[in-house]
Amino acid sequence: MWGGRFSKALNERALRYTTSLPVDRRLFEWDVLGSIAHARMLDRVGVLSHVDTCALVDGLTQLLQDPPPLDGPYEDIHSLVEAELGTRIGLVAGRLHTARSRNDQVATDTRLFTRAALVQGLWAVMELQQTLLEVAQQHTETVLPGYTHLQRAQPVVLAHHLLAYWEMLDRDAGRLRDCLVRADVLPLGAGALAGSPYPLDREYVAHLLGFAEVSRNSLDAVSDRDFIAEHLAALNLLAMHLSRCAEELVLWSTAEFAFVALDESYTTGSSIMPQKRNPDVAELLRGKTGRVYGALVGLLVTLKGLPMSYNRDLQEDKGPYFEAVDLVDDGLALLTAMLGSAAWRTERMEQAANDPLIAATDLADHLAQRGVPFRQAHEIVGRIVRAAEASSRSLADFSLDELRAFSPVFEASAVGLRADQVAAARNIVGGTAPSQVETQLRAAAERMTALRTWVDNAAAKLPTLESVTATD
């Protein structure tokens, strides 16, 4: 309950129902840092005395250095911080809320959290990308079947397959960077909804907290949660990519594929079948993706019917959001560990890549490169495939004379095609030829260096106790 307007305390059940403290206590550090910046600005513009400001900043610093229990009969983290500050420095704590509202305060805290979460997420993405590069560099000539419709299609090298996930993550990193640009706006100063009658220096607060700019409309500033929805949308795509990779680990670790053996520390046993080693971590990574999706849908449903400006519904933005951030961060870390510790069964991959029929497309291309229309070449090779199946032979077993019985255009280079030759023939930009994959690996490493520099610069702008209390 705030102020003297009320003659009754909030009903106990209503307090339990409305409190956001179990969720927004996670914003404690950001609330305190934002409060320090706010207090210093009020001193700077003459709204607070320097003596009061020093007391507030000292008390808030103590809260960070010796945090109180983040529980109790409080509506939210803001009221807890103010109450705990009051127990340490007395009545002067009440001056801290001058020229701000919980509406612009929580919007600021959440943006501070989002910026840090985006930076952390980018670091985690880069860790996974680096692991993919390291594994790929060891397997630039390891062939395995590429699949369409989950049927063997054409040979690829393992490095090329892993780099497909690297590219997905690179796009994910780009989306997270874009999110950071739009989250990097300071709402503090918007007040409850209409701004403030005090001569605030909002740009100074933005400087202390590392924001790139201040909000341009107070109504929008307190009610905007686009930046959370955008982050969640990026997390949804990232989680989907992690899930796809986890799905392949599940498939590839089966006896039917046997392309990979996951480290025992990321598998579990059966309660009744002693021989089992289940890829539970990968399965749960795949399964928890639905909860990440749910967080985005839930937020959009919450936002779609809200009138301007702040409404208490917005309290429900953070719980699913925080969980989605955690789920994706955990997924990134676990997938990085699983890929880095896996044993890649290259002999099994190469055996599967040398499927009896996998060179069919190359036989058709052989004819097309010699003037046969591709559709006709496709039909000719289809007949050869049917003959191979009928005689339980491999396409590589057909002699030149046997191939020429289907088309006189065949030449000696069509005989005995191996999987590594088929893969090496895809020697174009973006292809799976080992020489192209080496180029792709070098380019990926260069792009990672540039991304790392960008993220390091973004991380340097995040506020810390030292930066918000530093002498101007």
Could you give the 3-state DSSP secondary structure of residue 378? helix
Written as one string, the DSSP assignment of 145-165 is EEEETTEEEEEEEHHHHHHHH
Residues 6+ apart with CB under 8 A from 408: none
Residue 316 CA to residue 322 CA, distance in Å, equals 11
Q: Is 213 left (phi over 0), alpha (psi -120 to 50) or beta?
A: beta
DSSP one-letter code for 99: T
Q: CA angle at residue 27 from 26 to 31, to 5 degrees?
A: 150
Length of the chain: 472
CA 225 – CA 306 distance, rounded (Å): 11
Q: Give the per-residue SS3 of 419-431.
A: HHHHHHCCCCCCC
Alpha-carbon Rg for the chain, nearest whole angstrom, is 30
How do 260-261 and 213-214 pair as beta strands?
unpaired
- Whole-angstrom Cα distance, residue 267 to residue 263? 7
Angstrom distance (rounded) from CA 453 to CA 108: 26
- The token duo for 439 is 């180029």
Say if residues 320 and 299 touch (Cβ distance below 8 Å): yes
What is the token pair recorded at 245? 């990779």
Would you please indicate which residues are annotated as catalytic (active-site) residues?
A: 149, 270
